[in-house]
Structure 1
Amino acid sequence: SQTEKIVDELYSKMSPEERIAQLTSMYVSDLLDENRQLDPKKCEEKLSNGIGHFAQFCSSGEPDMTPNQIRDLVAQVQDWLINNTPNGIPALFHEEVLSGIAAPSATIYPQQIGLAGSFNIELAEQKTRETAADLRKIGGMMALSPMVDVSRNPSFNRDEESYGEDSYLCAALGTAFVRGLQYGGLENGIAACTKHFLGYGSGYLSEDKELYEEILLPHEAAIRTAGSKIVMTGYHNFRGTNCVANPDLANGMLRTYLKYDGVMVSDYGSVNQIVLPEGENSSAQRAAAAVKAGNDVEFQNPTHYPKLLEAIEKGYITEAEVETAVKRVLSLKARLGLLDENPTLYAEGDIEFDTPQERETAYKLASQSIVLLKNDGILPLKGDNKKIALTGPNANQFWAFTGDYTYPGMAYFFYRKTIDPKQQKVVILKDAMENKLPQGWELSYERGCDWTEVEETNIPNTGDVRAYRMWLQRSRRVDSGETADYDAALAMAAESDVIIAAVGENVLLCGENRDRGSLRLPGKQEQFVEDLIATGKPVVLLMFGGRAQVIDDLADRCAAVIQAWYPGEEGANAVADILYGKISPSSKLSVSYPNVELNENICYNYSVEQDPRIQYPFGYGLSYTTFEYSNLQIDTEVSTGAKAINLNFDLENTGSMEADEIVEIYLSPSSESQNLKPIQLQGFGRISLKPGEKKTVSFLMSPQQFGYYNNGHWTIDAGDYIVKVAASSQDIRLSETVTLKGKSKDLALRDVYFAELQ
């Protein structure tokens, strides 16, 4: 191919030192003088052979940096590389973009666990198209997102970054994320990176069958249907070996089984964590172990890979193995347009972040991410509840809206920057509720209690060790900047018609490297809610945070319960619009919501029976209206090799408010001898209906969705299967038996992953 030709030619001109440099990464900040200007001396010292990558070039920067300043710095660095290194190869600048670019002043969209509950593929793709356009403008060409770990342990501190517990939903939304980033092809978009390979958080415990069918699925679908070209390994051990040095993962599953031809990168500092045999502890041995296992690039500092030349000399690795890695990196740069004659490396002119269009997308996603879990008829708030008491630690704080991979979250936690709440463009709940308050209503506010009274988080010395070093001596409590008067809040609540209790977590209680021993509400928050309930006034429990927080019997005594997750910069406006009834809630849970504290894997697909430890099932969420499902029509007999199975049914809004309903399609085996999970999501759609409106909803399924992993193949067996149309995993509305006829079919890999909403 043309790319191979360009790469081979370039490679042959490079010195061994230049080649190795392409496999390394560093921070731009390491090239700056004390005035934050590019220092040519440091460039000569650190960049004389060029470099492959620059790490987190926005999130590691100062909070006052404008998009123009970030772009100008990238331009200076690229200019230096092009004019002062032997082959003038530009670097790849990468950044986190999980909930928008982790850059000062960039749009903050809802965190993934909530966004997953939108079940909205189109909007998820729209979001990353916006991200990609902005990142390209400032000179970024690679994202360290999406995280597609199928996350089944409710205690996992990074649950918030995942799309939840279901592999199909993770795959559908992860693929949409990649499509949006790479929109218009890699030469116009941003290279996405699926992480963490494989089974980070909880999936590494899976047996082969579950591993290949579910844990691998989001990576597989993104690679095979959306052309994803970068995979990042996890910090964890996989079957006894660090992922980054585990050949079964990169060389086995990815490159042999999936025929993947892209790049494999390490998580930050993970090459340092490789456990080598006794007596083999040199950088050269560490680097060799990683490259031999198929890991091409070391992030984020040039710690071990610069010793690869020594590793070749000492026979730890062959020159050919290193050549393969270098050529993979150069191929990626070629695909992104970095090796063109006159590459476009950034935008000229003035760059604007957080446009009205982006804020609109953030608002729409937030409004579709907030889940109504319980409602005794108190919501939406009405005229007889017009005296509102707003209270709780998250009622007047921007930290209620920003997850761990937003700029404020990263700059504060990983880079020790001071984050000024007044500088954030995040709308806070108190302001949104005041601005949207209906005429003649009253809103009073008291904080009431803090997030926690004492430190509740341990920072483990594993994973990204920057955090551990940084927080060892620091207070692990966020300064709220306001006093919390418990008694004043209770007195105010007693005088009101209705109480909104905004509770939950914050950036130091949840997220990467933040281990909190409990899943209940932090600090005194639970007692505070009990005392609010004791006033006799109806309480709307409004939770923010990065995972399901256990509220068990507290929910029974509240008039309504809302889980808002971390809904981003427009989240407060979305919450206010839901409370006041301007819009109906329409999100459904992307996780099973436990009623007891669990530190083990749970998933709806383990059984069709309701697990007594689950308070609200996967796929559950209430609306301000009601929907009726009827008239299921489906192809009941098709061959195992058929192209498609047609399915349609009618959906009617039988209530009095316009709203969206998320419809869910599940597949179950007809007998236990079939090789399928008891129940598995295999399709979904978001349908908008006016009051009284009825629509026919149509899906195209594929017999390939009825298949299973069978010793290196995808097998579709003949037999009877049950297709279910549902409002949640525990609320099946319609079902029908489908018979697959003919011979069993064996595919090397499947090529249909999703049911298509027509």
Structure 2
Amino acid sequence: MKRLSWLIVAVIVFGCSQTKQAQTYSSGDVEMDRFVGDLLSKMTIEEKIGQLNLLTPGGGILTGSVVNPDVEQKIKAGNVGGLFGVIGVDKIRKAQELAVTQSRLKIPLLFGSDVIHGYKTTFPIPLGLSCSWDIPMIERSARVAANEATADGLNWVFSPMVDIARDPRWGRVAEGAGEDPYLGAAVSAAMVRGYQGTNMAADTTLMACVKHFALYGAAEGGRDYNTTDMSRLQMYEYYFPPYKAAVDAGVGSAMTSFNEIDGIPATGNRWLLTELLRNQWGFKGFVVTDYTAINEMIDHGSGDLQQVSAQALRAGTDMDMVGEGFLKTLKKSLDEKAITEAEITLACRRILEAKYKLGLFQDPYKYTNAQRATREVLSADKRAAAREFAVRSSVLLKNTNQTLPLKKTGTIALIGPLANDKNNMLGTWAVSGDKDLSIPVLTGMKNVAGAGVNIIYSKGANITDDTALAKKANVFGERASIDSLSPARLLSDAVATANRADVIVAVVGEASEMSGEAASRSDINLPGNQTALLEALAKTGKPLVVVMMSGRPLTITREMQLATSFLHVWFQGHEAGNAIADVLFGNYNPSGKLTMSFPYNVGQIPVYYNHKNTGRPQGPGPTQKFRSNYLDVSNDPFLPFGFGLSYTTFTYGDVRLDKTTMQANEQLRVTVPVTNSGRFAGEEVVQLYIHDKVASVTQPVKKLKAFQKIMIRPGESREVVFNLSVEDLKFYNSEFKWVSEPGEFTVMVGGNSRDVKRADFTLRN
């Protein structure tokens, strides 16, 4: 009873403050405030609540099992603020007509979709795109996707997904930019700029939605939807930067995460959504839940549907995706004084402001030009862009005896379950992509190789022989097919094919839906039957080029031993086959670098480059007793963050500093010579890391603070220059203040986080 009394007092006090806020509200845009304020004055409480309701009519790939009934009637009644899962200009126009011609106030709808890596023209998965380290290209990928999606009627995308992830067991690492906050923040801001452009009201731009706020990538055990628990310092220093970068870039909306933070689900967490996101960071957009996230607070143990809906609204959630908790319970909570009308009005205002910024009140049909859709969707220029993005996402992990690039002569045995497969080329979360339009590797190699190459094909193995795993991977259609031929027959046919060739290209990996949402794996090995295939192929003595597709880092120590050359291509989208062939035959020299560390085995997880020292660190050299280490494996990852080879070689000179003592108001000029010492022109990602040797809050062994992607011709040397300021030396202290402290620092520059050149300097006040 005491708790209930306290809640009533809190609601009254908070309600008064909210009423005052509503009276003094100003967005800074006088015309928008006038328009929205006038519209709000005409709305009933039911219509205001209706704007907070985001529905899907069904008929698409859903992230849950709920499909909203009677959507059409709800639109007419003013009970819907937006729809998602509606694809195509004609369908979107019809739904918009319902809202603007048959509802009382004619308020237009938002139309959203999960445009994660391209719209109908599918690009590489985001983890693959991040491996390009090409921020302008990543921005352009979002720009191209926005152009295509808006041509087909959409005005809102549930992207970018910017969750920092250090655990590859979590399937949704495929959707993010990896483990590093600095790179993740750069990618996040680039995606927002690409989607929203400089004018969100243009008919070729749309509203982005940063997700999942917050900390979703730190789910315990890598198990999707699981709990998350970490210190505030860890949040601020490592996990928050990409979200904040999106806010600073002007992102129009944010999506809540499924996990809890400090014991309170994110969707109902006032500290997260109001104190941090809005008050500290100055976020001006609206907050939407993930799929039924309000309803799922019930299973978290936060109360019944009415209680959790009220909690979510008070916390700062503005729009309820699918669950209809707001629609069904807020009026009752208002009558019982558990919430205030000011809170409902403020949430509604934020939704209306988004529609105003998109220009929907001026022209609700601006995104429904059928002629533009015909011209832009799946156009040749977008396929060309997809191919370009794909080649730049490939990461060369091994190349013994310069087996790659392949010669455009002789006989190549193309083998593997993903070698002639359209079903898996798009990767996870390609909800609008048509798999039948994808280019398989066999077709791509024939397209690129020319008449001088004889390519012979054999499947060699299933993606998995485990029928239970295959069934789970086939939830959205056949991705892991079980061949009518026995595994033994597939293997023997493949070996016979390999023996007729000069070189073997084996295309192996996961099925597309073995990663992604609700696709966590406790065993991240390549399926055993595929490893057995590689072992049999290696025994032929022929050069063995392994091409691997996956949505996450896998444990591939054995596979790397077997391979002569190893190319990781992630999932590359519609142009996968052509792009992979471009790299294999040397039309493009691979330049990708890993954005997640690859572990030796699953027991090492989490393993990431920017870890902290313990009081008993394991130093270089033999393993020592009573030090922080394993008995059976190195502390270091198998493949480090930032690693990636080229068909050429790059040699780094010593790091030079223009001074060894830096004042807080000065910049430090860091210079390193990089030489292309090989035979091919190539691009290198030059990476700069720092280490703060002594600080009031212990610092990691290194932190990425800058990078440049440069092209160097054979025999050419280039001086790469970085300018560091005191801002690059700051960290969050124990009071969560962004500070720098005088002291000694090490700057490190190299081609990955492990192999670096070092120099020391001192920061003075």
CA contact (8 A) 2:124 2:393 kept: yes
Question: What are the Cα deviations for residues 537-586 of structure 1, in whole angstroms up to 9, with x where unaligned?
Answer: 22212110101111213312321111111111222222112211222111
- 1:432 pairs, out of 444, 447, 457, with 444
CA contact (8 A) 2:689 2:704 kept: yes
Partner Cα distance (2:462, 2:103) in 1: 54
Deviation, 1:738, is 3.3
Question: What are the Cα deviations for residues 256-288 of structure 1, in whole angstroms up to 9, with x where unaligned?
Answer: 22122221111001111113798942x322311
1:82 aligns with 2:111: no
1:296 aligns with 2:318: yes
Partner Cα distance (2:262, 2:362) in 1: 42
Provide the aligned length of Structure 1 versus Structure 2: 694
Q: TM-score, normalised by structure 2?
A: 0.85
Which residue number corresponds to residue 295 of structure 2?
272
Residue correspondence of structure 1 range 349-748 to structure 2 within 5 A: 349-351=371-373, 352-382=376-406, 386-407=410-431, 424-455=436-467, 457=469, 478-479=480-481, 485-598=490-603, 600-607=605-612, 611-612=634-635, 614-630=637-653, 632-636=655-659, 641-642=664-665, 644-671=667-694, 675-710=698-733, 711-733=735-757, 735-742=758-765
SS in 1 for 2:144: helix
Partner Cα distance (2:302, 2:91) in 1: 43
Answer 1 or 2: which has greater helix percent. 2
Partner Cα distance (2:504, 2:430) in 1: 30
Partner Cα distance (2:322, 2:160) in 1: 18
Partner Cα distance (2:470, 2:439) in 1: 30
Q: Match of 2:128, as an amino acid?
A: G
Q: Match of 2:175, as an amino acid?
A: E
Which residue number corresponds to residue 200 of structure 1?
216
For residues 382 and 359 of structure 1, do their structure 2 counterparts lie closer, same or farther at Cα, with a shift above 3 Å needed? Answer: closer
For residues 373 and 295 of structure 1, do their structure 2 counterparts lie closer, same or farther at Cα, with a shift above 3 Å needed? Answer: same
For residues 662 and 239 of structure 1, do their structure 2 counterparts lie closer, same or farther at Cα, with a shift above 3 Å needed? Answer: same
Partner Cα distance (1:643, 1:161) in 2: 38
For residues 243 and 137 of structure 1, do their structure 2 counterparts lie closer, same or farther at Cα, with a shift above 3 Å needed? Answer: same
| Most deviating of 650-659 and 22-31 | 22-31
1:244 aligns with 2:246: no
Question: What are the Cα deviations for residues 414-443 of structure 1, in whole angstroms up to 9, with x where unaligned?
Answer: xxxxx7x5xx22111011112222443321
Deviation, 1:367, is 1.0
Partner Cα distance (2:34, 2:665) in 1: 41
1:311 aligns with 2:333: yes
Deviation, 1:512, is 0.8
Which residue number corresponds to residue 196 of structure 2?
182
1:338 aligns with 2:360: yes
SS in 1 for 2:589: coil
CA contact (8 A) 1:458 1:514 kept: no
CA contact (8 A) 1:637 1:741 kept: no
Which residue number corresponds to residue 191 of structure 1?
207
Question: What are the Cα deviations for residues 371-397 of structure 1, in whole angstroms up to 9, with x where unaligned?
Answer: 111111243245598321111110011
Q: Match of 1:293, as an amino acid?
A: A
CA contact (8 A) 1:50 1:89 kept: no
- 2:44 pairs, out of 11, 15, 36, with 15
Q: Match of 1:49, as an amino acid?
A: G
- 1:158 pairs, out of 172, 175, 188, with 172
Q: TM-score, normalised by structure 1?
A: 0.86
CA contact (8 A) 2:309 2:325 kept: no
For residues 97 and 481 of structure 1, do their structure 2 counterparts lie closer, same or farther at Cα, with a shift above 3 Å needed? Answer: farther
- 1:25 pairs, out of 28, 39, 54, with 54
Question: What are the Cα deviations for residues 617-665 of structure 1, in whole angstroms up to 9, with x where unaligned?
Answer: 1000011111233364444367665374443333322211111111101
SS in 1 for 2:346: helix
Which residue number corresponds to residue 36 of structure 1?
none
Deviation, 1:237, is 2.1
CA contact (8 A) 1:292 1:317 kept: yes
CA contact (8 A) 2:689 2:749 kept: yes
Deviation, 1:530, is 1.2
Which residue number corresponds to residue 91 of structure 2?
73
1:287 aligns with 2:309: yes
Partner Cα distance (2:584, 2:727) in 1: 43
For residues 584 and 201 of structure 1, do their structure 2 counterparts lie closer, same or farther at Cα, with a shift above 3 Å needed? Answer: same
SS in 1 for 2:419: coil
- 1:219 pairs, out of 243, 252, 258, with 243
Question: What are the Cα deviations for residues 231-255 of structure 1, in whole angstroms up to 9, with x where unaligned?
Answer: 1111122222221112221122212
Which residue number corresponds to residue 630 of structure 2?
none
Unpaired runs of at least 5, structure 1: 32-40, 59-69, 410-418, 461-466, 743-758
Deviation, 1:399, is 3.3
Identity %: 29
Which residue number corresponds to residue 123 of structure 1?
137
Which residue number corresponds to residue 750 of structure 1?
none
